[in-house]
Structure 1
Amino acid sequence: MYVSNHLSLVEQHRQDAYSISERTAQFLAAGGAVAHLPSPPRNPLPPKRSAKIDPDTILKRRKPPISRAERNALRKLAEAL
Structure 2
Amino acid sequence: MISNHLNLVEQQRQHADSISERTAQFLAAGGTIFLGESPAINPPPSKRSTKIDPETILKRRKPPITAAERKALRKLAEAL
TM-score by length of 1: 0.60
Which is richer in helix? 2
Q: Which residue of 1 aligns with 2:20?
A: 21
Match of 1:12 in 2: 11
- Pairwise CA RMSD: 2.6
Structure 2: which amino acid aligns with 1:43? N
Q: Which residue of 1 aligns with 2:35?
A: 36
| Aligned residue in 1 for 2:47 | 48
State the aligned residue count.
65
TM-superposed deviation, 1:39 = 1.4
CA distance in 2, matches of 1:5, 1:38: 32
Letter in 2 for 1:10: V
Please identify runs of 4+ aligned residues in structure 1 that moved more than 6 A: none
Identity %: 69
Q: Give 1:41 shift.
A: 1.5
Which amino acid in structure 1 is aligned with residue 24 of structure 2? A
